[in-house]
Chain A
Amino acid sequence: MEQFLTYTFLGLVLGAVYAIAASGLVLTYTTSGIFNFAHGAQAMLAAFTYWQLTVPWGLPPLVAFVLVVGVFGPLVGMVLHQVLMKGLRDVEEVTKVVVTVSVLLGMVSLATWIWDPAEPRSVALLFGNANYVDLGGVKIRYGEIFVILAAVALAVGLRLLFTRTRLGVAMRGVVDDPDLLRLNGFNPDRIALTSWAIGSALAAFAGAVVTPIAGGSLEATTLTLLIIDTFAAAMFGRLRSIPRTFVGAMVLGLAATYFLGYAPTRFDWVSNVRGALPLIVLFVVLLVLPQDRLRGLAQIRGRERPRVPSVQQAVVWGAVFVGLVVLLSRIAGPGMIGPWVNAMAFAIIALSLVPLTGYAGEINLVPLSFGAIGIMVAYHTGIEGIGVESRMTWVGIVAGIAATALVGALVALPALRLRGLYLALATLAFGGIMSTLVLREINPRHWFGLDIALFPNARLIVPRPEIGPLDLDENTTYLIALSIVFAVLGIAVIALRNSGYGRRLVAMRDSPAATAMLGQSLIRLKLGVFVFSASIAGLGGILIASAQGSVSGDDFLITASLVLVMLTVVGGVSYVSGALFGGVVVGVGLSALNGTSAGLGADMPDLEPTFLVLSHLGALAIALTGIGVNHNPSGVVHAISSAYRPLRAAPPVLAGGAAAVALLVGLNLAGVLGDWAFALLTMVVVFALPGLGARFMPERVLTPEQLAARATPRETPPEMLGLDVPLTIDERLELDAGLGLPAAAAAAMELRADPDPVVGEQEPAHVPA
């Protein structure tokens, strides 16, 4: 009984932490329509700040706590709102998701920069561990009582705020109709700002207390993802209801501790299931939520529309691409091939997002977890031979793809009836379950009469396939083979977009209501594209694993998926080239960043700290690229190609650029220029060329309007004269003369001397007939 009470109490404490974090999430979602994926990262930053204040700087815990919750939390929230979230009204769901994901990644990379992850850190609970009351044998620490009381007060307070106060009602109205709110005398921006401040303070609260309650030491990624557990609680309240969220949080907390306390301990999977429990709950909650009502969307006109290449164009570009890769494989040193092989494999996984996110507007946040399914199944069904003779077979590849397609259907099914955000959350839950449960199945188990470990020894050794006489074991051959696979899949994806099916996907994204009314089953369409997308990701997983030779569970982490998704959207998720961009930045860019700074640091030990700072800065910069998505929703590749389009009229500029690149290639081949320097300089040429074109051949590159704008710096249009800029005396005279008002003209003439004219009040001498 005493044990039961202890577990109950611990469950309530954990539930209280969940409730505090989840309330903050619900608050910001209801008032801004933005689901803050960075909520956990904010809690994480708060936890580290709390540690910084209490341990190295020695502030009393209570003071530190007040500073973190009362100053740091709200400040972060307000800055986020002012700088980013304010601009996210009336944008696509994908943009909102990617911006907050980018903030998440940026915060994690900032935290690992400031607080070296190698050093273990722990914080004590508020009011210390020694201060407790003994309640019938159950030790209850003061800090735990405080957390429970705070959670209850918060739930009651927020409920009253939302239902009883004008501010609360206004808060709920911000998302629905900001203009109406403004008419009623509220400032929607200020209301949203307030709620972001409160929501972030709550994240900070949860962050400051969660580690001593849940146990363990501070670790940036773990803390960030821990808050994903609270998504389940928030979903209990359908991201709206505070009381339901509170109940959900408590149920979750209790379930976790009871499971820990009473589930049989002789199975090693129990602790893994305990870790995945909130995610499983999230999944189940999504499954039972009632269907969303079909309603019209606010249509956003005047946005850039992605250009759709024809299949012929795609084939030409595919051939050019494969040719370039062949060239690259000839000029690049052996050390460069490895990253490019990775890049191609990542690009194929990123390609899975083009039909799903780019065309259909649905979001999969964990493509790598689907890749993990692909490689696990391929590993168990398709490897032939032993040791260096072993090969991945076609059977394995096909089985892996088929299994991923099936799992994709199972993951997507619960969320398809709901809005896009919920599908994104379902995929996130799936990714978490994969990481905490499936990828930790490293010991053999007895399944259906077979002794099998899903992920044996925590590392899968994956050989490459052999196509007839072509052995892909050689890196260069494999690179070219991967580029061909990417090109063929890319052409297939573009052909899909040009087909009736592709048009239906785009129609569904643009207007679900109209698409349904024309007789389309939305669920079937979403399911189809999700399964298609998942199978591409499955193939990509197999190819990544055989690119690297072996993979561990860490290769499929949620954060890695998030980076890939974000960079693909940055590159342009409606374009095959955007997927290539995402893959290349992840495969080559990130490893280059670490490789160069470490390499340069080793060469020049004096400058090592500088290079370290540069590499951290680079990582932070890449993590934060996603926050710019709102300003460039079509992506980087689209922006570059739009910049190059006018250059077609200026062949000398293009030829000059080509010559410069050829020169760089020559220098690289001659050994004068290192590979990284070559890559960097090529990038500079590519990015600078459009600007140079406009500088040196403006009459060919710029449109007549742009030229005109250049020649005359923005003149006031004639109809705005006298309104935007006051009329000069001379203009007045001209006007009067034109209207035949000699007297007024004379009057104006006199006024020339008078510096303070009041022309309008003077009666004209006569009005012309």
Chain B
Amino acid sequence: MSLLETRGVTVRFGGTTAVDAVDLALESGQVTGLIGPNGAGKTTLFNVITGMQRPTSGSVLLDGSDITRKSPGKRGRLGVARTFQRLELFLSLSVRDNVRVAGDIVKASRRGGYDVEAETQRVLELTGLAEIADREVADIPTGRARVVEVARALMTHPRLLLLDEPASGQTEQETEVFAAMLRALADDGLGICLVEHDLSLVMSLCRTIHVLDRGRLIASGTPDEVRATPEVVAAYIGAEVI
């Protein structure tokens, strides 16, 4: 059984179909890529998986049980975490408090056995944010801010992490470190779904890649298979890019 599945998920906004009957499976311990041109429906699909957007039809299953009608908060507690393409930081708080408040939320909803301070320190070190922990989050560059969103998500000990363009705004070195961290997290059993325009990052990290175009899933498979699919090349990538 897959960690998360979408079955025939369709989202219509008035006359436009943003996501069209998408079946998708995300596995534990793997980084799955989700690519496609702008407006393909990637973020909308993330919104459906996290409960921020109710699908017009179709369902979302976590460990085989239907979570389509559950609230975003409930899904968060069940282990679904995400980052945002348009950053959603807690701008009045420092980097440390941005991470720590995620622990506060976990602590408030869970009984016992969660040390917020220790966990905050561990995650700050894991993500390499420890040295800028006391800066205001509003003052740090976008690339670092994206890592803050990941760190915040990790505080909840998620089972599935949805990353919406995490590398945009990062320098090349930052992306390298970031990729290594994602690989390590996946090796520890975390399921990761990556929406990203940096194709070399996607190709190097993901064992499976899904391609969306105008709301439809046009290809799925290993990087090599996806590269070889003519529709993909036509729709999105363009022959000489890879």
* Residues of A in contact with B (beta carbons under 8 Å apart): 293-297, 299-303, 305-306, 500-501, 503-504, 506-507, 509-511, 513-522
Q: How far is the CA of A299 from the CA of B80 in the complex (A)?
A: 23
CB contacts (< 8 Å) of B91 on chain A: these are 299-301, 303, 305, 510
Residue B72 is within 8 A (CB to CB) of chain A in the complex: yes
Q: How far is the CA of A303 from the CA of B155 in the complex (A)?
A: 27
Query: Nearest chain B CB to A601's CB is how many angstroms away?
Result: 47
Of the stretches B2-10, B98-106, B126-134, B194-202, the one at the interface is B98-106
Question: Please, what's the 1-or-0 string for B92-135, where 1 marks a CB less than 8 Å from any CB in chain A?
Answer: 11000100111111111100000010000000000000000000
Residue of B nearest to A298 (CB): B86
Question: Please, what's the 1-or-0 string for B147-189, where 1 marks a CB less than 8 Å from any CB in chain A?
Answer: 0010011011000000000000000000000000000000000
Q: How far is the CA of A121 from the CA of B101 in the complex (A)?
A: 58
Given A299-B89, A516-B73, A501-B104 contact (CB < 8 Å): yes
Interface centre among B72, B89, B108 (most CB of A within 10 A): B72
Q: How far is the CA of A301 from the CA of B90 in the complex (A)?
A: 11
Q: How far is the CA of A378 from the CA of B101 in the complex (A)?
A: 38
Given A516-B76, A519-B106, A503-B89 contact (CB < 8 Å): no
Query: Nearest chain A CB to B9's CB is how many angstroms away?
Result: 16
Given A303-B91, A510-B89, A511-B89, A518-B52 contact (CB < 8 Å): no
CB contacts (< 8 Å) of B89 on chain A: these are 299, 510-511, 514
Q: Is the CB of A519 within 8 A of B88?
A: no
CB contacts (< 8 Å) of A297 on chain B: these are 88
Query: Nearest chain B CB to A597's CB is how many angstroms away?
Result: 41
Query: Nearest chain A CB to B113's CB is how many angstroms away?
Result: 16
Query: Nearest chain B CB to A483's CB is how many angstroms away?
Result: 29
Query: Nearest chain B CB to A743's CB is how many angstroms away?
Result: 44
Q: Is the CB of B50 within 8 A of A504?
A: no
Q: Identify which of A294, A296, A305, A504 contacts B105 (C-beta below 8 A).
A: A504
CB contacts (< 8 Å) of A501 on chain B: these are 104, 108
Q: Identify which of A295, A303, A511, A517 contacts B90 (C-beta below 8 A).
A: A511
CB contacts (< 8 Å) of A518 on chain B: these are 76, 81, 101-102, 105-106, 152-153, 155-156
Q: Which 4 A-B pairs have the closest CB atoms?
A: A500-B104, A519-B76, A514-B88, A511-B88
Q: Is the CB of B92 within 8 A of A521?
A: no
CB contacts (< 8 Å) of B54 on chain A: these are 293
Q: How far is the CA of A522 from the CA of B105 in the complex (A)?
A: 11
Q: How far is the CA of A302 from the CA of B155 in the complex (A)?
A: 26
Question: Please, what's the 1-or-0 string for B42-69, where 1 marks a CB less than 8 Å from any CB in chain A?
Answer: 0000000011111000000000000000
Residue of A nearest to B80 (CB): A517
Q: How far is the CA of A522 from the CA of B72 in the complex (A)?
A: 10
CB contacts (< 8 Å) of B103 on chain A: these are 500
Q: How far is the CA of A84 from the CA of B42 in the complex (A)?
A: 39
Q: Is the CB of B136 within 8 A of A299?
A: no
Q: How far is the CA of A293 from the CA of B88 in the complex (A)?
A: 16
Interface centre among A294, A297, A501 (most CB of B within 10 A): A294
CB contacts (< 8 Å) of A299 on chain B: these are 86-89, 91
Query: Nearest chain B CB to A524's CB is how many angstroms away?
Result: 9
Contact sample, A vs B, 30 pairs, CB 8 Å cutoff = A293-B54, A296-B84, A301-B91, A305-B91, A500-B104, A500-B108, A501-B108, A503-B93, A503-B100, A503-B101, A504-B101, A506-B90, A506-B93, A507-B90, A507-B105, A510-B89, A511-B88, A514-B90, A514-B152, A515-B90, A517-B75, A517-B80, A517-B82, A518-B152, A519-B76, A519-B105, A519-B109, A521-B71, A521-B109, A522-B73
Residue B239 is within 8 A (CB to CB) of chain A in the complex: no
Interface centre among A303, A513, A522 (most CB of B within 10 A): A513
CB contacts (< 8 Å) of A513 on chain B: these are 52, 72, 84, 88
Residue B77 is within 8 A (CB to CB) of chain A in the complex: yes
CB contacts (< 8 Å) of B228 on chain A: these are none
Given A504-B108, A516-B76, A305-B152 contact (CB < 8 Å): no
Query: Nearest chain A CB to B182's CB is how many angstroms away?
Result: 19
Residue B235 is within 8 A (CB to CB) of chain A in the complex: no
CB contacts (< 8 Å) of B84 on chain A: these are 296, 513-514
Residue of A nearest to B78 (CB): A519
Q: How far is the CA of A509 from the CA of B84 in the complex (A)?
A: 17
Q: Is the CB of A517 within 8 A of B93?
A: no
Given A301-B138, A507-B93, A514-B84, A293-B106 contact (CB < 8 Å): no
Q: Identify which of A296, A509, A521 contacts B88 (C-beta below 8 A).
A: A296
Residue of B nearest to A514 (CB): B88
Query: Nearest chain A CB to B196's CB is how many angstroms away?
Result: 19
Q: How far is the CA of A209 from the CA of B202 in the complex (A)?
A: 66
Q: How far is the CA of A305 from the CA of B136 in the complex (A)?
A: 9
Residue of B nearest to A295 (CB): B52
CB contacts (< 8 Å) of B152 on chain A: these are 514, 518
CB contacts (< 8 Å) of B109 on chain A: these are 519-521
CB contacts (< 8 Å) of B73 on chain A: these are 516-517, 519-522
Query: Nearest chain A CB to B167's CB is how many angstroms away?
Result: 19
Residue of A nearest to B116 (CB): A500
Query: Nearest chain B CB to A513's CB is how many angstroms away?
Result: 5
Query: Nearest chain A CB to B152's CB is how many angstroms away?
Result: 7
CB contacts (< 8 Å) of A293 on chain B: these are 52-54
Query: Nearest chain A CB to B116's CB is how many angstroms away?
Result: 7
Q: How far is the CA of A303 from the CA of B139 in the complex (A)?
A: 10
Q: Is the CB of A507 within 8 A of B88?
A: no
Q: How far is the CA of A64 from the CA of B55 in the complex (A)?
A: 55
Q: Is the CB of B138 within 8 A of A305?
A: yes
Q: How far is the CA of A504 from the CA of B90 in the complex (A)?
A: 10
CB contacts (< 8 Å) of B92 on chain A: these are 305-306, 506, 509-510
Q: How far is the CA of A521 from the CA of B75 in the complex (A)?
A: 11
Q: How far is the CA of A598 from the CA of B109 in the complex (A)?
A: 58
Q: How far is the CA of A510 from the CA of B81 in the complex (A)?
A: 18
Q: Is the CB of B88 within 8 A of A500?
A: no
Q: Identify which of B76, B87, B97, B138 contacts A517 (C-beta below 8 A).
A: B76
CB contacts (< 8 Å) of B108 on chain A: these are 500-501, 504, 520
Q: Is the CB of A294 within 8 A of B72?
A: yes
Q: How far is the CA of A519 from the CA of B92 in the complex (A)?
A: 20
Q: Is the CB of A510 within 8 A of B77?
A: no
Q: How far is the CA of A500 from the CA of B115 in the complex (A)?
A: 12
Residue of A nearest to B104 (CB): A500
Q: How far is the CA of A510 from the CA of B152 in the complex (A)?
A: 14
Q: How far is the CA of A295 from the CA of B47 in the complex (A)?
A: 9
Given A516-B72, A516-B73, A517-B50, A510-B90 contact (CB < 8 Å): yes
Query: Nearest chain A CB to B165's CB is how many angstroms away?
Result: 13
Q: How far is the CA of A759 from the CA of B204 in the complex (A)?
A: 55
Q: How far is the CA of A340 from the CA of B232 in the complex (A)?
A: 74
CB contacts (< 8 Å) of A510 on chain B: these are 89-93
CB contacts (< 8 Å) of A306 on chain B: these are 92
Q: How far is the CA of A296 from the CA of B74 in the complex (A)?
A: 18
Q: How far is the CA of A509 from the CA of B155 in the complex (A)?
A: 20
Q: How far is the CA of A500 from the CA of B109 in the complex (A)?
A: 12
CB contacts (< 8 Å) of B149 on chain A: these are 514
Interface centre among A296, A297, A509, A522 (most CB of B within 10 A): A296
Q: How far is the CA of A514 from the CA of B156 in the complex (A)?
A: 12
Q: Identify which of A305, A500, A517 contacts B107 (C-beta below 8 A).
A: A500
Given A500-B107, A519-B76, A296-B82 contact (CB < 8 Å): no
Q: Is the CB of A517 within 8 A of B104?
A: no
CB contacts (< 8 Å) of A506 on chain B: these are 90, 92-93, 101
CB contacts (< 8 Å) of B93 on chain A: these are 503, 506-507, 510
Query: Nearest chain A CB to B12's CB is how many angstroms away?
Result: 14
Q: Is the CB of B104 within 8 A of A503?
A: yes
Residue of A nearest to B76 (CB): A519
Q: How far is the CA of A12 from the CA of B89 in the complex (A)?
A: 50
CB contacts (< 8 Å) of A511 on chain B: these are 88-90
Q: Identify which of B101, B106, B153 contacts A507 (C-beta below 8 A).
A: B101
Q: How far is the CA of A301 from the CA of B89 in the complex (A)?
A: 10
Q: How far is the CA of A519 from the CA of B80 in the complex (A)?
A: 9
Q: Is the CB of A517 within 8 A of B101?
A: no
**Besides A510-B90, A511-B88, A514-B84, 5 other A-B contacts (C-beta < 8 A):** A296-B88, A305-B91, A500-B108, A509-B92, A517-B50
